[in-house]
Structure 1
Amino acid sequence: MSINCIRTLIEDAQVTHGDKIALVLNEKSMTYSELYTKVNQVAYYLNELNLPKDSRVGVYSNKGIEQVIAILAILSTNYILVPLTKLLKPEQIEYIINDCDIKCIITDKLKLQSIEEISFDGHIVSYETSDKQIPSFEEIFKYYNKPYVCDINGHNNALITYSFGVSGTPKGIVISHRNLIDSARVVSGYLDLKEEDVISGLLIFNLDYGLNQLFCTLYKRATLALHRFILAGDFFNHIIDDSVTIIPLMPINITQMFDEEMQRLPSAELFANVKTITSSGGNVTHKMISECKKLFTNANFYSMHGLTEAFRSTYLDPSQVGIRPDSIGKAISDVELYVINKDGKECGVREVGELIHRGGYIYKGFWNAPEQNEQRFKSIQILKDVINLEGQLTDEIVVASGDYVYKDEEGYFYFVARHDNMIKTRGFRVSPLEIESAVAKNIPQIEQCAIFSIDNELIEEEIIMVYSASSEIAPKEILFELKKHLASYMIPSRVIYKKSLPLIQSDKNKINIDELKKELEI
């Protein structure tokens, strides 16, 4: 067994900390020993399906202890985990299933109906026993009690996570077992996590930031307290009741916590146990940081910046958050960052260029996406005018991030813009083309459609839709239709009608977004 895999952490934890609480969800809890046993039972069952090596297995369900068991069970086999966020609609799930050829889906009763709406002929496993003759965890826990042994290599593919790319369809990024263990190691290090810590499991497990909370918990033999954010009051009760010490957030969560319409905030004394707050998935504002510090008076605030193609590039030390809140910080351990111009030369101080990520935590590449791989994963030769490449070694891969940044006099990085037109909202990356495609397919009355964003401090960017048609359509009708086909975070906040849209003179097939913004004074 490789030491560079999550499976090793599970095995070691049940030996050294078997009686310690690993997971908490409301009144339910599970020790490391109990977790190990149930993970083995599900992994044993999955192996008995006799799927080909490296088959993809999806997890499509609401958050819960069973979801964690499913994730860890798949990572204990030679299959590949594909997390499917519950926010996605059936047609989006169907795309992912077909794109990476998912052979099995683990789900719950609530999502069984969504799966039945699509054409999926693979294996289905449910957490609960249903009346549809579908195997369940309840049955597996009852009948599968044989010893389970596995052997996993760190360089093998472990996980494919999907995000939305410039092509308008989700693109899966392939992550190895070694990537997962490395990310847990580095985060546990710079956050100084301890085994007595209780980490809030607020984030969803569809992307690496959320999954990293689970892996850091295992790495340090800590406790993960799961929570589903619905109301801010419930979230505050979760922090108090579960004695949470580490709170990982996205900027949208901070906005939800301090909603101006919410009633009086709890006393800061109730949160004295909280020692660390982390934020990733978008830019945090000075207001967000200030509000967190007022309520969580003993907590250090870490602002972090990651890439789709690599787990993480930078973090801003808490000592600098008040001094330079707009900075994304400096490179994390084992990473070198460079800012280069279009000629491949290193940019000077405060000169904007593309961020190049070299060193650790680089993922293996995009699944079935050679164009994206060619665009983002580059030979080390891209830095030939910046660093000394002795020995003509060319096999090292770096990430050309597509993020445009600059560096100040003290070496701190600042994010400026994306190379493409991706929209960052509520912690998600959204492709305008994905929304435009949904409009074209499902609302034929609309002749032309433009999707773009404007700044919104509360959610980072606000999605705007402008369309032309023979006559105006009620915005409520458009949004009602789009909600059938798109995740909630992809729904435009404003819908604007125009008889005609401005076009780019050099390409009459493209809408002139800049001109459109001027016309609308946005």
Structure 2
Amino acid sequence: MKPLDPIPKPIDHVLCGGAQTVALIEKTRRWTFDDVERAVSSVAGWLAAQALDPSARIATWLPKTVLACVMPLAAARAGLVHVPVNPALRRAQVAHILADSGAAMLVTQDGRAATLTADDVPAPCRLVPDAAVPLGASGPGRSAHDPGALAALLYTSGSTGRPKGVMLSHANLWLGAVSVAHYLRLTPEDRVLGVLPLSFDYGQNQLFSTWFAGAAVAPLDYLAPRDVVKAVTRVGATTLAGVPPLWVQLLEAEWPADTTLRRLTNSGGALTERLVRGLRARFPRADLYAMYGLTEAFRSTYLDPALIDEHPDAMGRAIPFAEVTVVRPDGGRAAPGEAGELVHAGPLVAQGYWRDADRTAQRFRPAPAWTQSGGIAVWSGDTVVEGSDGLLRFVGREDEMIKSAGNRISPLEVEEAVLAGEEAREAVAIGVPDPRLGQTIVVALAGDPDDEAALRTRLRALLPSFMQPVRYVWRAELPRNANGKLDRAAIRGELSA
């Protein structure tokens, strides 16, 4: 394992594997680190020839092609700012990102470009077909950019308001790659199957952390869980990252008796105990990493796989380069067992929201005086508690907490109780306005409504009366956002109507 070096570099230096070692696996070609380095150089040279202003924003709206994988490094090498757009988005969302970022160029496929109207593309923004960007020409070598310079805007799929661009520096991206490669113990022998969107910080980091470790990544756009199963076998994948809805689907898929998977990582939502038990049973030879993160600070905590069987409800401790504290509402440090807001300080903290001083001031504020890192911290809005064992546990988002009859109720606690049985595959609990109680609990579920009577009977024995849902809304599937997470905002809007 490489040493944990806290000194950041420009992100285009992240290709750290042997020259002839495989770095990128396509269906029809395996690209070595030399190959990928030449592609980065070629695209950076092409970008430099486009007469763009320094730090201009370059948007890409692409599936997981080689160009989509190398553009984050090429744009950074050319002194530009990359804006990856989730390929699952549609024209209205793309138009918002182009206008908000002030993108000078959108690189996309002809079919996607054809879905945009003239009003969707701001006048200064050029549409460039991906086929026009060369991967085999000559170009500049590794850059000497200031690690503190802006390198990327990642647009969040926030639960309220329009997506906002999180400003990430070279240092943010570099140290995130070093941190993850270190605590996941990635080695050059690993093969990482990349199923998450590259516009998602978790998905993009898979490229960077894998390449920093000198390992290979196999990007995959998939339609069904069986596509993931087949890809694991085809590439000999050792590592797979997912969000909880994907794990639910993969546990329902048919797998061979044994797989090459030796490492599973989760973020984008807490794993339920049922999911932990299911994954451990299905993949007994794989280490399972539960993680917690937010785009504004990339990632905050992880749970050592050796602890997950005994502590399936925990989100662990701070990752390398992160300082995580629990803060009471009065600003004091929370004691063990006392709930408070998770505050993340240190060099992984982003530079704020692009052209949004008001929302930046709300989320990015000075760290508590007792922190070692100091400086500006991300105040997450998430309620957590640190146990006497030193492990953090998620309670809920402050804006999602249910307030009923004077009680503050964690939706996660209700959801875990619902999912502890066999009646539903997925569940989202929300509070809806009630003139007498303030809010009542409504649960959206994926499953068979014929099982509701059994569910109600089980929960009466499991939860106190004030935590009992008053209504269940059954669906064949629950809605997801573009990153594959359960779309809590959409569910809340539907159930509150």
Q: Same fold (TM over 0.5)?
A: yes
Question: For 1:377-388, what aligned pairs fall within 5 Å after superposition?
Answer: 377-380=364-367, 383-384=368-369, 387=370
> Match of 2:87, as an amino acid?
K
Q: Which of 398, 415, 419 is the aligned partner of 1:419?
A: 398
Give, in whole Å, the separation in 2 of the partners of 1:98 and 1:318: 43
Distance 1:56 1:96 in 2: 11
Task: Give the Cα separation in 1 of the matches to 2:359 and 2:494.
Answer: 32
Work out the CA distance in 2 between the residues paired with 1:377 and 1:486. 25
The counterpart of 1:461, out of the listed 421, 428, 435, is 428
CA distance in 1, matches of 2:353, 2:130: 30
1:102 is paired with a residue whose SS is coil
CA distance in 2, matches of 1:166, 1:299: 33
* One-letter identity of the residue aligned with 1:123: R
Q: Tell me the CA shift for residue 26 of structure 1.
A: 2.0
Q: How does 1:173-322 map to 2 (within 5 A)?
A: 173-259=166-252, 262=253, 265-269=254-258, 271=259, 273-322=260-309
Is 1:7 matched up with 2:30? Answer: no
Q: In structure 1, what is the equivalent of residue 33 of structure 2?
A: 32
CA distance in 1, matches of 2:48, 2:494: 53
Of residues 371, 374, 384 in structure 2, which corresponds to 1:405?
A: 384
What code does the residue aligned with 1:119 have? V
- Distance in 2 of aligned mates of 1:420 and 1:180: 28
Per the alignment, residue 114 of structure 1 pairs with 115
Secondary structure at the counterpart of residue 185 of structure 1: helix
Deviations 1:184-203 (A, max 9, x none): 11111111110111011111
Q: 2:107·2:128 contact (CA, 8 Å) conserved in 1?
A: yes
Matched position secondary structure for 2:206: helix
**Deviation for aligned residue 1:164:** 3.5
Q: Which amino acid aligns with 1:66?
A: L
- 1:134-153 matches, cutoff 5 A: 136-137=132-133, 140-141=134-135, 144-145=137-138, 150-153=143-146
* CA apart distance, 1:153: 1.6
Q: Which amino acid aligns with 1:157?
A: L
Identify if the C-alpha distance between structure 1 residues 256 and 42 changes in structure 2 by more than 3 Å, giving closer, same or farther: same
Structure 1 position 166, deviation (Å): 6.0
The equivalent of 2:85 in structure 1 is 84
Q: Distance in 2 between matches of 1:32 and 1:422?
A: 47
Partner of 2:315: 328
Q: Given that residues 463 and 492 in structure 1 are in contact (C-alpha distance below 8 angstroms), is that contact kept between their aligned partners in structure 2? A: no
Percent of matched pairs sharing the same residue: 27
Distance 1:268 1:75 in 2: 43
Q: Which residue of 2 aligns with 1:123?
A: 126
Matched letter for residue 14 of structure 2: L
The whole-number CA distance in structure 1 between the counterparts of 2:126 and 2:166 is 23
Structure 1 residue identity aligned to 2:89: L
**1:451 corresponding residue in structure 2:** none
Describe the SS at the equivalent of 2:40. helix
Task: State whether residues 352 and 406 of structure 1, in contact with CA within 8 Å, keep that contact through their aligned partners in structure 2.
Answer: yes
Residues 235, 149 of structure 1: alpha-carbon distance in 2 compared, 3 angstrom cutoff: closer
Q: 3-state DSSP class of the match of 1:367?
A: coil
Matched length: 424
Aligned mates of 1:3, 1:464 — CA distance in 2:
44
Per-residue deviation, 1:158: 0.6
Q: 1:494 to 1:312 in 2, by over 3 A?
A: closer
8 Å Cα contact 2:314-2:394 kept in structure 1 = yes
In the alignment, the residues of structure 2 paired with residue 208 and residue 176 of structure 1 have an alpha-carbon distance, to the nearest angstrom, of: 13
Q: Which residue of 2 aligns with 1:353?
A: 340
Which residue in the other structure is 2:437 paired with?
none
Distance 1:72 1:184, change over 3 A: same
Structure 2 letter corresponding to 1:309? E
Q: Give the counterpart of 1:342 among 302, 314, 329.
A: 329
Q: What is the alpha-carbon distance in structure 1 between the residues aligned to residue 352 and residue 296 of structure 2? A: 7
Q: Deviations over 1:111-145 (max 9, x none)?
A: 121344623432222223xxxxxxx13xx347x43
The structural deviation recorded for 1:316 is 1.0
Once the two structures are TM-superposed, the CA of residue 493 in structure 1 deviates from its matched residue by: 6.2
Indicate conservation of the 8 Å contact 1:306/1:312, yes or no: yes
Give the TM-score, by structure 1 length. Answer: 0.75
1:47 maps onto 2:54 in alignment: no
Report the TM-score, using the length of structure 2 for normalisation: 0.78
Pairwise CA distance, 1:308: 2.8
Using the TM superposition, give the Cα deviation of residue 152 of structure 1 relative to its aligned residue in structure 2, in angstroms: 1.8
Name the CA shift for 1:266/1:43 in 2 (closer, same or farther; >3 Å). same
The verdict on how the C-alpha distance between 1:147 and 1:371 changes in structure 2, with shifts beyond 3 A counting, is closer
CA contact (8 A) 2:326 2:385 kept: yes
8 Å Cα contact 1:329-1:412 kept in structure 2? yes
What value does the CA root-mean-square deviation take over the aligned residues?
3.0
Which segments of 5 or more consecutive residues in structure 2 lack a partner in the other structure? 1-6, 403-413, 420-424, 434-478
Change (3 A) 1:102 1:460: farther
Aligned equivalent of 2:98: 97
CA drift at 1:290: 2.0
Q: Is the 8 A contact 2:400 2:430 kept in 1?
A: no
Q: Quick one: structure 1 residues 105 and 184, their matched pair in 2 at CA, closer, same or farther if it must change by over 3 Å?
A: same
**How far apart, CA to CA, are the structure 2 residues paired with 1:368 and 1:495?**
28
C-alpha contact 2:386 2:393 (8 A) present in aligned 1: yes
Distance 1:388 1:463, change over 3 A: closer
Deviation of the 1:495 alpha carbon: 8.7
Q: Is the 8 A contact 2:152 2:169 kept in 1?
A: yes
Query: For the Cα contact (< 8 Å) 2:8–2:175, is it kept in 1?
Result: no
Q: Give the deviation of 1:232 after TM superposition.
A: 1.8
Corresponding letter in the other structure for 1:461 = V
Residues 1:71 and 2:65 aligned together: no
Distance (Å, rounded) in 1 between the aligned partners of 2:280 and 2:482: 35
C-alpha contact (below 8 Å) 2:86/2:482 kept by paired residues? no
CA drift at 1:146: 5.2
Contact 1:89–1:486 (Cα < 8 Å) also in 2: no
Rounded to whole Å, the distance in 1 between the matches of 2:428 and 2:339 is 21
Structure 2 counterpart of 1:431: none
Distance (Å, rounded) in 2 between the aligned partners of 1:487 and 1:213: 15
Contact 2:44 2:139 in 1 (8 A): no
Cα distance in structure 2, aligned partners of 1:231 and 1:18: 35
Secondary structure of the 1:283 match is coil
Instruction: Please tell me whether residue 20 in structure 1 is matched to residue 13 in structure 2.
Output: no
